Amino acid sequence: MTVHDLQPLLRPENFSPIKRKFLAHALPRTARNADLLVAPSQAVADKLASRLGVSAERLAVVSVGTEKISDGPNRPTFPPTVLYPAATYPHKNHVVLVEAFARIARRHPDARLVMTGAPGRADDEVQAAVSAVGLGDRIELTGRIPSSELDELLTGASVVAFPSTYEGFGIPVLEALAAGVPVIVGAGTPAADLAGD
């Protein structure tokens, strides 16, 4: 069984009461009954061991990969674009990114912020933050988009921002690095470990 993260146990406030109750029961039960638990990062494996008592013999870390790796840096398109590919869940920290973008927007009048991904539990808060900074024409919330459109945005991005406060791995960080796009990552997550310096 693959366990991507233990967020339902460690940050239950990010889930609806029904999902929180189900996962609080299902995750420990899965950990007890599975022959092998696969984690996408050592950080998740460590949490499975410490929080759920899974022995080292029943744990394996299998990192996520990517289909292709660029042979050099990407070639950003115009206008300069900060890309954040993530649904608007509370732990994804979109509001911090909107506020940070507002601070640099005056110095970079052509820059834009594009946030892709499905609306999540923090969507109203994110929409309010976008309205509050008064840069609505330069900040776009696309919702879900086809992978071909996301690939095009990624290869043309000036930077991928990933300010998430909780991750089991951070696939968008890996995809950005593989595409040769510079990445800014929130500290203290496996995604930050993946990005290195």
**Coil, strand or helix: which one is 159?**
strand
Name the E strands within 64-191.
Answer: 81-85, 112-116, 139-143, 159-162, 183-185
Q: In this predicted structure, what is the pLDDT of residue 193?
A: 82
For the chain, how big is the Rg over CA atoms in Å?
18
Q: In this predicted structure, what is the pLDDT of residue 151?
A: 92
Any idea what DSSP says for residue 37? E
Opening angle at CA 103, ends 118 and 174, nearest 5:
45
Mean of the pLDDT values across residues 30-35?
Answer: 92
Q: State pTM to two decimals.
A: 0.81
pLDDT digits (tens, 9 = 90+) for 39-83: 988 889 999 999 999 999 999 999 887 777 888 888 999 999 999
> What is the percent of the chain where pLDDT is above 90?
71
Amino acid at 86: A
Say if CB 44 and CB 168 are below 8 A apart: yes
- On the question of pLDDT at 194 being above 90, the answer is no
Contacts of 73 (CB under 8 A, 6+ apart): 180, 181
Mean of the pLDDT values across residues 141-170?
Answer: 93
Q: In this predicted structure, what is the pLDDT of residue 127?
A: 96
Q: In this predicted structure, what is the pLDDT of residue 73?
A: 87
d(CA 119, CA 194): 26
Q: In this predicted structure, what is the pLDDT of residue 184?
A: 94
Q: In this predicted structure, what is the pLDDT of residue 15?
A: 86
**Within 10 A of 84 (CB to CB), how many other CB atoms are there?**
26
Peptide bond into 79 cis (omega under 30): yes
pLDDT digits (tens, 9 = 90+) for 95-119: 999 999 999 998 999 999 999 999 9
pLDDT band at 144 (very low <50, low <70, confident <90, very high): very high
Q: In this predicted structure, what is the pLDDT of residue 41?
A: 87
Say if CB 114 and CB 84 are below 8 A apart: yes
Q: Among all chains, which residue has been given the structure tokens 């988009």? A: 145
Q: Among all chains, which residue has been given the structure tokens 């366990």? A: 3
Determine the length of the chain: 197
- On the question of pLDDT at 141 being above 80, the answer is yes
Q: At what angle do helices 94-105 and 123-133 cross, to 10 degrees?
A: 10
